[in-house]
Amino acid sequence: MTSRLASLLGNLVEATATPYPVDRYLEFVNPMLTWRETRAKVVGRELQTNRTVTLTLAPTRQWKGHTAGQYVEVSTVVDGVRHRRFFSPANAAQSHTAIELTVTAHDDGFISQHLREHVAVGDVLGLGEATGQFVLPAERPERTILVSGGSGITPVISMLRTLATEGHRQPVTLVHYARTAEDVPYAAELAALADAHDNIDVHLHYTRTTDRSHFIAAHLDGLVDADGAQVFLCGPPTLMSAVSADLADRGLSARLHSEAFTIDTAPVIDPNQPITGTLTYSTTETTSENDGRTILEQAEAAGLQPEYGCRMGICFSCTAVRKSGCTRNILTGELDSETDQQIQICVNAPVGDVDIEL
């Protein structure tokens, strides 16, 4: 059947299956039987460290694979509510039939804890398409420097595995920061890769052992400044800013490619623009005094539970209508006061009085 015919047939089935999309009916028969949606069954579960879980997923036929470094939206239903988060497949890009996610459970992290503690082999998760610009270039670098911290190891290990699988012969160095040796997922595989390949080096630094080896510029000497080096960075905000500043000091910022899993949403305090105003959540008839944080954080502090996914302006799960007032986008600094506009409440902070439809 051609894809055009399949699509026409799908539209016809969907039209007759109203009020719900056809996938809503199919999931009663078998959640892995889908017309449009991509889903994935958990076929493997491993606790590599005390804070992580590695889930191997078998996706439905719609999955198109990923490029090393990209991320996917994963959704799961907890107490009747669907939650969305993003994870970077850790497997090599050559595998199109399985996806490996390594999730670090944050102490107060709702979904990361759920995935570690409650998701079991046989469970089915929702899956988005792989996306993101943090990828290995098609023309592989002459020298690849991968720098990661904590959960940020996932996209870079996908890059490392991809290069190893394709028989890449040019130098690749992974510099990884973890709390302790026991907190490094894939530790045995990393050692084996470095042993088996002359061109692969792995440098591990531990930040919570007696030598407290936090990032210092010397860790990258001879690596990032080598001819043809390209640097791929993913980790906590402190590591990201220290490495970015180091590359800027060396005049090598153009070599840096990076991805953050979280952003700093602390209010920017400007003495000429004091934080004032009242946030009105009109749907729930709730108010709170503006404290300068994002609308999402202030709404949560006021006891509301708005939907969100990435908390950093990627996914649009958190949009709500700003009925009136002015907001500042914390990523771009832009001010906007058009009435009745959909805004992403995770990256917008009120400037004065704001009425938001929450």
Ligand X SMILES: Cc1cc2nc3c(=O)[nH]c(=O)nc-3n(C[C@H](O)[C@H](O)[C@H](O)COP(=O)(O)OP(=O)(O)OC[C@H]3O[C@@H](n4cnc5c(N)ncnc54)[C@H](O)[C@@H]3O)c2cc1C
Residues that bind ligand FES (CB under 6 A): 308-311, 313-318, 344, 346
Nearer to ligand X, 223 or 256 (CB): 256
Nearer to ligand X, 71 or 206 (CB): 71
CB of 315 to ligand FES, least distance (A): 4
Residue of the chain from 26, 92, 103, 147 that contacts ligand X (CB under 6 A): 103
Interatomic CA distance for residues 24 and 19, integer angstroms: 10
CB of 346 to ligand FES, least distance (A): 3
- Residue with token string 């069954």: 41
CB of 227 to ligand FES, least distance (A): 39
Interatomic CA distance for residues 144 and 137, integer angstroms: 11
Region from 30-38, 109-117, 198-206, 350-358 binding ligand X, contact rule CB under 6 A: 109-117
Please return the burial class of 220, using the count of CB atoms within 10 Å of its CB with bins 0-12, 13-18 and 19+: buried
Region from 61-69, 188-196, 268-276, 310-318 binding ligand X, contact rule CB under 6 A: 310-318
Which parts of 252-291 interact with ligand X (CB under 6 A)? 261-262
- Specify the pairing of strand 143-149 against strand 229-234: parallel
Region from 19-27, 199-207, 288-296, 307-315 binding ligand X, contact rule CB under 6 A: 307-315
Contact 233, 246 (CB under 8 A): no
Region from 36-44, 54-62, 82-90, 333-341 binding ligand X, contact rule CB under 6 A: 82-90
CB of 113 to ligand X, least distance (A): 6
177 touches ligand X by CB under 6 A: no
Residue 243 site contact among ligand FES, ligand X, none (CB < 5 to 8 Å, cut-off depends on kind): none
Contact 44, 56 (CB under 8 A): yes
Nearer to ligand X, 11 or 262 (CB): 262
Strand ranges for 95-138 from DSSP E: 99-104, 124-127
Residue 308 φ then ψ, to 5°:
-150, 165
Q: Which residue's beta carbon is nearest to the bound ligand X?
A: 109
CB of 348 to ligand FES, least distance (A): 9
Q: How many residues bind ligand X (CB under 6 A)?
A: 21
Residue of the chain from 159, 229, 310, 356 that contacts ligand X (CB under 6 A): 310
User: Beta-carbon neighbour count of residue 107 at 10 Å?
Assistant: 7
The helix-helix angle for 22-29 and 3-16 (nearest 10°) equals: 90
Contact 277, 325 (CB under 8 A): yes
The gap from C-alpha 2 to its chain's centroid, in whole angstroms, comes to 35
CB of 178 to ligand X, least distance (A): 13
CB of 142 to ligand FES, least distance (A): 36
Residue of the chain from 92, 111, 299, 356 that contacts ligand X (CB under 6 A): 111
Residue 71 site contact among ligand X, ligand FES, none (CB < 5 to 8 Å, cut-off depends on kind): ligand X
The helix-helix angle for 187-196 and 153-165 (nearest 10°) equals: 30
User: By C-alpha distance, which of 324, 316, 320, 311 is closest to 352?
Assistant: 324
The gap from C-alpha 71 to its chain's centroid, in whole angstroms, comes to 6
CB of 33 to ligand X, least distance (A): 27
Contact 234, 152 (CB under 8 A): yes
